[in-house]
A and B are shown apart, each in its own frame.
Chain A
Amino acid sequence: MFDDFFIRALVAGIGVALVTGPLGCFVIWRRLSYFGDTLAHSALLGVTLAFTMEFNIALSVFIISSLIALILIQLQKRTNLPGDALLGLLAHSSLAVGLVVIGFLTFIRFDIMGLLFGDILAVSVDDLLIIWIGGALILLTLKFIWKSLFASTVNYELAEAEGLNPDRAKAIFTILMAAIIAISIKMVGLLLITGMLIIPAAMARNLSTSPQSMVIYSIIGGLLSVIIGLFTSLEFNTSSGPSIITAALLLFILSLFKIKQSIKLKN
C-alpha cells in the first residue's frame, strides 16, 4: 500500500496535519508565530548536523531547535533586547550559519530547495514511521498538559494560584514545538512549517466559538489543505509544500466570509 509515492505523501501529510492542528491553535493563542518561525529556521542547522555526523535528521533537528529555544530563554533573561529582535537574531543567524556549513560540505549534494520548501513526495516508509509515532507522542503529551497549558494561556496567575504549574506546561510546550518541526521538516520545509501551524488555526478561529471547536476546525483545515494541495501538485506539477500552504490560504480566505456573516448578524 505504501509502495506508491503519492500514497506515502498523503499519509505523511495527514499525520502532520493531525498534530499541527491543535499545536497551531496554541501558537495563535499564545502569540508564538514568530517563535515557531525561529525554531524552523534553526532546523537547517540541525539538518546539516545530521549530514555531517550521519545522524537521524528528525532527531538532530529536534535537538538543535530545543537548543535554540533554550538560548532564546537565556537571552531574554540576560539582555534588554525586545523579544522580537532576539527572535529575528536567532532565526536569521541560525539560517545563515546552516547555509555556511552546507558550503563546507562539498562531498554531499544538498537539495536546498527541498530543505527550504519541503519534498513530501520523497518521504520514505521510515519517515512515515517517524511522523506517525512522533506525532502520536506529541499529541499524547499535549493532552496530558492541556489543562494547565490552556489555563495559563487564559491567565497565568489563575493557573498558578490554583495549582496547575504553568511554567512546567510552557517548557513542555516549547519542546513539543521543536518536535513538530523536527518531524514535519521533510514535508513542508523549514520556510513553510509555521504556515502549516498558523494558517489552518487562523481559519479555525474565524469559524469557532469555543476552544474545542477551534481545535477541530484547525485539524479539518489542515487535512483539507494537505489533500487539496497534494492533488493539485500532482495535477499541475507544482511543488507540493507550497501547494499545501496555498490551499490552506484559500481555505482561510473562504473562512473570512463566515466572519462577515456573523458580524452582520450582530449588527
Chain B
Amino acid sequence: MSSDKNILVKLNEAGLFINDKWLVKGVSLQVEKGKIVTLIGPNGSGKSTTAKIALGIYKKIDGSVEKYTNKVGYVPQKISIDWTLPLRVNDFMILTENLNIEKIDEALSLTGVIHLKDKNLGDLSGGEFQRVLLARAISKKPELLVLDEPVQGVDFTGEIALYELIKKISDELNCGILLISHDLHTVMSATDHVVCLNGHVCCSGSPIDVAKNNEYKALFGEQASQILSRYEHTHDHIHTDEGEVKKN
C-alpha cells in the first residue's frame, strides 16, 4: 500500500492490563503524516492510556505498537513537576532537545506566552503553563504530536486560537497528531479520523460518519458535558460491571 510510508505510529489490538483489570483493550489505530486522529470517550475510558501506549511509555502491553519516528512532541494531561528544581520557562523549552533561541521564541510566540520566557515555571497559572507545554511540544518540529487535552484551563478565546494553531501546525509541518479532546466542536471540524473509546474501540471513522451514525446533530443540541457523557451510538454490545464487553 502506498500509504504505508506515511504511517508514524500504529497500534495493533493494543491493550494494557494492570492490577487485575484492563485499562484499555484491543485498540487498533494508526496516525499518518499530516493527519489528525482524535480520541473521544467518557472519563476512565482509556484515552490517556491509549496515548501513552502509542508513545511507548508502557512496556508490558498486550498486542503491539509500531512506532516509525523518534521525533515526538508530547503534551501530557497531568504533569507533576517537582518544585525543588529551579526551572524557568526557557530551561523547560530545551528539556528534551537543544533548540536555538529563534526556535524557542517562535514557539512561545505562537502560543502567546513569549513574555513568560524568563519566569519560574512554578509561578505560572494553569492556563499559562498549558500554553508553555504546547509550545515546548511544537518547538522541536516533531513528526508526531501527541496532545492529551492540550487546552485544559486555557481561556475561551485562547482555546479557539490554540485549536486553530494545532490545525495549522499539522498542515505546515505535515506532522501526524494524536489528539485527546473533550470539545466535540473542534473534534468534528478539525479531525480526519475519530476514535471513540470506552475501554475498547466503540466506533471509529471520519467525523461525518461518526456524526451521522450516532445522531450527532441531536447530540449537539445538548450541553457540552452531556454530549460527552451520553455520547450515544448504536452499540452492538453491552458493558458489564466488570468492564467486560458482551455481544448482544
Interface residues of A (CB under 8 A from B): 28-29, 31, 147, 150-151, 153-155, 157-164, 205, 208-214
Q: Majority SS of interface residues in chain B?
A: loop
The smallest C-beta distance from B239 to any residue of chain A, in angstroms, reads 28
A137 to B84, CA, bound (A): 27
Q: Judge whether B88 is part of the interface by a CB distance below 8 angstroms.
A: yes
The smallest C-beta distance from B146 to any residue of chain A, in angstroms, reads 7
Verify B96–A160 contact, CB threshold 8 A: no
The smallest C-beta distance from A173 to any residue of chain B, in angstroms, reads 15
Q: Pick the contact of A161 from B57, B84, B97 — CB < 8 Å?
A: B57
Q: Judge whether B79 is part of the interface by a CB distance below 8 angstroms.
A: yes
Verify A154–B85 contact, CB threshold 8 A: yes
A234 to B88, CA, bound (A): 42
The smallest C-beta distance from A177 to any residue of chain B, in angstroms, reads 18
Verify B84–A155 contact, CB threshold 8 A: no
Q: Pick the contact of B74 from A28, A154, A157, A214 — CB < 8 Å?
A: A157
Known: A159-B96, A161-B57. A209 touches B86 (CB 8 A): yes
The smallest C-beta distance from A201 to any residue of chain B, in angstroms, reads 10
Q: Judge whether B18 is part of the interface by a CB distance below 8 angstroms.
A: no
The smallest C-beta distance from B86 to any residue of chain A, in angstroms, reads 5
Verify B85–A160 contact, CB threshold 8 A: no
Q: Determine which residue in B72, B80, B87, B95 has the highest number of CB atoms from chain A within 10 A of its CB, and name it.
A: B95
Q: Majority SS of interface residues in chain A?
A: helix
Q: Judge whether B153 is part of the interface by a CB distance below 8 angstroms.
A: no
A214 to B86, CA, bound (A): 8
For A167, the closest partner residue in chain B by CB is B59
Verify A211–B81 contact, CB threshold 8 A: no
| Contact mask for chain B residues 99-113; partner A; CB cutoff 8 A; 1 contact, 0 none | 000000000000000
Q: Pick the contact of B86 from A161, A164, A208 — CB < 8 Å?
A: A208
Given A209-B86, A210-B86, 19 more pairs with CB closer than 8 A:
A29-B82, A31-B84, A147-B98, A150-B95, A154-B85, A154-B95, A155-B79, A157-B55, A158-B74, A158-B76, A161-B55, A161-B56, A162-B72, A209-B120, A210-B87, A210-B91, A211-B85, A211-B86, A211-B87
16 of the cross-chain contacts (CB-CB < 8 Å) are A29-B85, A147-B96, A151-B96, A155-B79, A157-B52, A158-B95, A161-B55, A161-B56, A161-B76, A162-B72, A162-B74, A164-B96, A205-B84, A208-B86, A209-B120, A212-B91
Provide the residues of chain A in CB contact with B52, threshold 8 Å: 157, 161
The smallest C-beta distance from A152 to any residue of chain B, in angstroms, reads 10
Verify B81–A154 contact, CB threshold 8 A: yes
Q: Judge whether B22 is part of the interface by a CB distance below 8 angstroms.
A: no
Provide the residues of chain A in CB contact with B72, threshold 8 Å: 161-163
The smallest C-beta distance from B42 to any residue of chain A, in angstroms, reads 23
The smallest C-beta distance from A188 to any residue of chain B, in angstroms, reads 24
Q: Determine which residue in A159, A210, A214 has the highest number of CB atoms from chain B within 10 A of its CB, and name it.
A: A210
Verify B91–A29 contact, CB threshold 8 A: no
Verify B86–A154 contact, CB threshold 8 A: no
Q: Pick the contact of A155 from B76, B90, B91 — CB < 8 Å?
A: B76
The smallest C-beta distance from A218 to any residue of chain B, in angstroms, reads 11
Q: Judge whether B92 is part of the interface by a CB distance below 8 angstroms.
A: yes
For A147, the closest partner residue in chain B by CB is B96
A147 to B120, CA, bound (A): 20
Provide the residues of chain A in CB contact with B80, threshold 8 Å: 155
The smallest C-beta distance from A26 to any residue of chain B, in angstroms, reads 10
Verify B86–A160 contact, CB threshold 8 A: no
Verify A160–B55 contact, CB threshold 8 A: yes
A155 to B57, CA, bound (A): 12
A186 to B80, CA, bound (A): 39
Verify A155–B81 contact, CB threshold 8 A: yes
A153 to B96, CA, bound (A): 11
Closest 6 interchain pairs by CB? A161-B55, A161-B74, A162-B96, A163-B70, A151-B95, A160-B57
Q: Pick the contact of A205 from B70, B81, B86 — CB < 8 Å?
A: B86
Q: Judge whether B199 is part of the interface by a CB distance below 8 angstroms.
A: no
Known: A151-B96, A155-B81, A211-B91. A162 touches B76 (CB 8 A): no
A211 to B88, CA, bound (A): 9
Q: Judge whether B73 is part of the interface by a CB distance below 8 angstroms.
A: yes
Provide the residues of chain B in CB contact with A155, threshold 8 Å: 76, 79-81
A251 to B70, CA, bound (A): 45
Q: Pick the contact of A213 from B70, B73, B82, B86 — CB < 8 Å?
A: B86
Provide the residues of chain A in CB contact with B92, threshold 8 Å: 154
Provide the residues of chain B in CB contact with A214, threshold 8 Å: 86
A211 to B74, CA, bound (A): 22
Provide the residues of chain B in CB contact with A210, threshold 8 Å: 86-88, 90-91
